[in-house]
Chains A and B, each alone.
Chain A
Amino acid sequence: MLAIHFWLSGAAEAKIYIDITSPSAKKLPIAIYDLQGPYGKEISEIIRDDLTFTGLFVYIDKASYIEDPAQAYNPGNWRPLGIEAVVKGSVGVTKELTVTLNLYDTFEIRPILSKQYQAEKELIRQMAHNIANDIYTALTNAPGIFRTKIAFVAEDDGEKGIYLMDWDGQRVRKLGLKGTLVLSPHWSSDGSKIFYSSERGRQWGLYLLDFLRMSEKRVFVSRGTNMAGDFFPQGDRVMFSSSKDGTPDLFILSLKDSSLKKLTSSYGIEVSPSVSPDGDYITFVSDRGGSPQLYLMRSDGSDTRRVTFEGSYNTSPSWSPKGDRIVFSCRRGKNQICMVKPDGSELVQLTEQGNNEDPSFSPDGRYITFTSDREGKQGVYIMRANGEAQRRISPKGLRSSGPRWSPN
């Protein structure tokens, strides 16, 4: 009996309401009150939008709530409606906003999450995302991504520049980093830096932006085309492709001593290197077999093998955070987003409309951001990693491309 009780309380600690690893997990019906007080509705709407985008929750409309928001929570008011989780709370305003929040499991009386949050008014969205993260974690036992950002490239007065926006497309801001051409920025694994390439005055330079210092530094420049690839996980080395020796080949650049290591040398094109999350492998694009295809090698340049065989144009690969999938652009008439295991098996196509390229994963591996021209002008899109819920998040009038999801 004691053993059973011990086991049960242990299980209660780690109770998972939604098994997010299961592709067919049932959606969890959740009620989200407008928090009482000023800004309450706005905060609750952000929380609701965050949670519903995951595809793991069914939001039950306010019209069916029996319980008056001011009344004490009573599970008996909810279970008959089939609702399994309830979010209640209030907002107080002084100089700052203070949210008191309770998340209830309708099988229990006590809240499973009870917490206060405080923020300056201009951080209202960040606060709401923070709350959504906590709710998400309480119900799935996994970290939420609702405070992550997406870095991307957009056109600005005839030049290209790097921009940042929240993962939901809100709060678009210019970073001021420009060039005639600018390519997709790559994040360091701690989120403190981005690495990107920019063509300025007929020269391709590789640049590093440090978000803590807010300063840009050129780390490499040469003749030919230099294109930034991924950071290695430790953040001390980066990959790039360069045609400085004639044809586009792959290099590792040490950010400590600026030393270079050349990993490929062929007559053809080697481009778009992406480093596996453990740092052991690199996937890249090569035309050595007659058409652009994905290849995989160890990060010392050995053991190269081809990953894709289907189709005649497979480019811009990027790893999933677990290292179990590679997402890339595949030509199927137009360019689409495809996903494959690193051994070349289980190829799936995730998009169908327009041209789609530059895919990359969210840090939890559940979502993918990419560029699409399906509505005319190129824009930044997001979708779930199974292809569901595709939507543009960049502003309609802004020609945007090359999105990369921040790691945190």
Chain B
Amino acid sequence: MKEIMAKALRMNKVFIVLAVAVILASFMLLTGCQKKAVKTEAPPPAVETKPEEIAKPKEPEKITEQKVEAVASKDVVAPHEESKEDMFADILFDYDKYDVKDSYKDEMMKVSAYMTKNSSATLSIEGHCDERGTNEYNLALGDRRAKAVKDYLVSLGVPSARIETISYGEERPVCAEQSEDCWTKNRRAHIVILTKAGK
């Protein structure tokens, strides 16, 4: 790195020397090659500006701008049908991980049993992250956490078609402090039961 900087510096010096040479040379040309004119503080050239060289005012440049108007988003979907939350405990994950820990086996069995009993119910599993990651990666991580819980439930016999997943990344924390305790609570998969409206 140092070497490159030094090289660039040298290059720059060469450039300045060249530029000065060019300027001096053109100055000498203008003043009819005066031999003594090699002074750094040379007087302004005694050449009068010829009238025709003063640029005749061209048409002024017209400044324009592409107009930007607000656009209403059309396909904002109606709110989802009624849902039940907090029937099941959140599944918590280790930092930057998305494997469902063995300790959640009982909770998973509970969810599976509920789904067998309520054959019309569907689930939405929301994946969440703590705030420390970057936006897009956190959304992918939340997605992967929701998917891991879904896979677990499918392995217990819940039909895949009855489980939706969605990631909210770091956007919906349950705990807002910047502490390990809070971050632990936020790294979660949250299980929501979607009940069909009118049933």
Which residues of chain A from 344 to 370 have a CB within 8 Å of any chain B CB?
346, 355, 357-358
Looking at the assembled complex, report how far the CB atom of B41 sits from the nearest CB atom of chain A, in whole angstroms: 7
B78: chain A residues within 8 A (beta carbon): 201
Distance A19 CA – B60 CA, assembled complex (angstroms) = 29
Interface residue? A260 (CB, 8 A): no
Interface centre among B8, B22, B140, B171, by most chain A C-beta atoms within 10 angstroms, is B140
Whether the Cβ atoms of A218 and B75 lie closer than 8 Å is yes
B197: chain A residues within 8 A (beta carbon): none
Distance A93 CA – B41 CA, assembled complex (angstroms) = 41
Contact with A along B7-30 (1 / 0, CB 8 A): 011011001100000110111010
Residue of B nearest to A211 (CB): B66
Whether the Cβ atoms of B77 and A201 lie closer than 8 Å is yes
Whether the Cβ atoms of B133 and A313 lie closer than 8 Å is yes
Whether the Cβ atoms of A175 and B139 lie closer than 8 Å is no
Whether the Cβ atoms of A118 and B68 lie closer than 8 Å is no
Looking at the assembled complex, report how far the CB atom of A320 sits from the nearest CB atom of chain B, in whole angstroms: 17
Pick from B11, B44, B140, B141: contact of A241, CB under 8 Å: B140
Distance A132 CA – B48 CA, assembled complex (angstroms) = 29
Distance A255 CA – B194 CA, assembled complex (angstroms) = 34
Pick from A4, A116, A178, A183: contact of B76, CB under 8 Å: A178
Interface residue? A38 (CB, 8 A): no
Whether the Cβ atoms of B140 and A116 lie closer than 8 Å is no
Whether the Cβ atoms of A248 and B63 lie closer than 8 Å is no
Interface residue? B135 (CB, 8 A): yes
A118: chain B residues within 8 A (beta carbon): 60-63
Whether the Cβ atoms of A126 and B25 lie closer than 8 Å is no
Whether the Cβ atoms of A116 and B73 lie closer than 8 Å is no
Whether the Cβ atoms of B44 and A74 lie closer than 8 Å is yes
* Binding stretch for chain B, among A137-145, A222-230, A296-304: A222-230
Looking at the assembled complex, report how far the CB atom of B170 sits from the nearest CB atom of chain A, in whole angstroms: 10
Pick from A130, A179, A202: contact of B164, CB under 8 Å: A202
- A-B interface pairs (CB < 8 A), number: 193
Whether the Cβ atoms of A200 and B77 lie closer than 8 Å is yes
Pick from A120, A201, A315: contact of B134, CB under 8 Å: A315
Distance A241 CA – B136 CA, assembled complex (angstroms) = 10
Whether the Cβ atoms of B62 and A119 lie closer than 8 Å is yes
Whether the Cβ atoms of A200 and B76 lie closer than 8 Å is yes
Pick from B66, B71, B133, B166: contact of A202, CB under 8 Å: B166
Whether the Cβ atoms of A315 and B44 lie closer than 8 Å is no
Distance A216 CA – B164 CA, assembled complex (angstroms) = 27
Looking at the assembled complex, report how far the CB atom of B147 sits from the nearest CB atom of chain A, in whole angstroms: 6
Whether the Cβ atoms of A335 and B134 lie closer than 8 Å is yes
Whether the Cβ atoms of B71 and A248 lie closer than 8 Å is no
Interface residue? A114 (CB, 8 A): yes
B141: chain A residues within 8 A (beta carbon): 269
Whether the Cβ atoms of B63 and A119 lie closer than 8 Å is yes
Q: Which size class do A's interface residues fall under?
A: 35 or more
A358 and B57 in contact, given A24-B5, A127-B63, A269-B144 (Cβ under 8 angstroms): no
Looking at the assembled complex, report how far the CB atom of A153 sits from the nearest CB atom of chain B, in whole angstroms: 9
Looking at the assembled complex, report how far the CB atom of B44 sits from the nearest CB atom of chain A, in whole angstroms: 5
Whether the Cβ atoms of A176 and B75 lie closer than 8 Å is no
Whether the Cβ atoms of A183 and B144 lie closer than 8 Å is no
Interface residue? A263 (CB, 8 A): no
Whether the Cβ atoms of A176 and B60 lie closer than 8 Å is no
Residue of A nearest to B142 (CB): A225
Looking at the assembled complex, report how far the CB atom of B149 sits from the nearest CB atom of chain A, in whole angstroms: 13
A127: chain B residues within 8 A (beta carbon): 63
Whether the Cβ atoms of B29 and A5 lie closer than 8 Å is yes
A358 and B135 in contact, given A75-B44, A118-B61, A224-B165 (Cβ under 8 angstroms): yes
Looking at the assembled complex, report how far the CB atom of A161 sits from the nearest CB atom of chain B, in whole angstroms: 9
Looking at the assembled complex, report how far the CB atom of A191 sits from the nearest CB atom of chain B, in whole angstroms: 9
Whether the Cβ atoms of B171 and A116 lie closer than 8 Å is no
B74: chain A residues within 8 A (beta carbon): 216
Distance A23 CA – B85 CA, assembled complex (angstroms) = 58
Whether the Cβ atoms of B5 and A23 lie closer than 8 Å is yes
Which residues of chain B from 179 to 197 have a CB within 8 Å of any chain A CB?
none
Whether the Cβ atoms of A248 and B143 lie closer than 8 Å is yes
A120: chain B residues within 8 A (beta carbon): 63
Whether the Cβ atoms of A22 and B11 lie closer than 8 Å is yes
Residue of A nearest to B74 (CB): A216
Task: Please report B residues at the A interface, Cβ cutoff 8 Å.
Answer: 1, 5, 8-9, 11-12, 15-16, 22-23, 25-27, 29, 41, 43-45, 47, 49, 53-55, 57-66, 68-80, 96, 124, 132-137, 139-144, 147, 164-169, 171
Can you list 28 contacts pairing A with B, beta carbon distance less than 8 Å? A8-B26, A75-B44, A107-B27, A109-B47, A109-B49, A116-B57, A117-B60, A126-B63, A130-B63, A174-B70, A176-B71, A177-B71, A181-B169, A201-B77, A202-B77, A202-B164, A203-B77, A211-B68, A214-B71, A216-B71, A225-B143, A241-B136, A243-B167, A272-B136, A285-B136, A315-B136, A316-B137, A335-B132
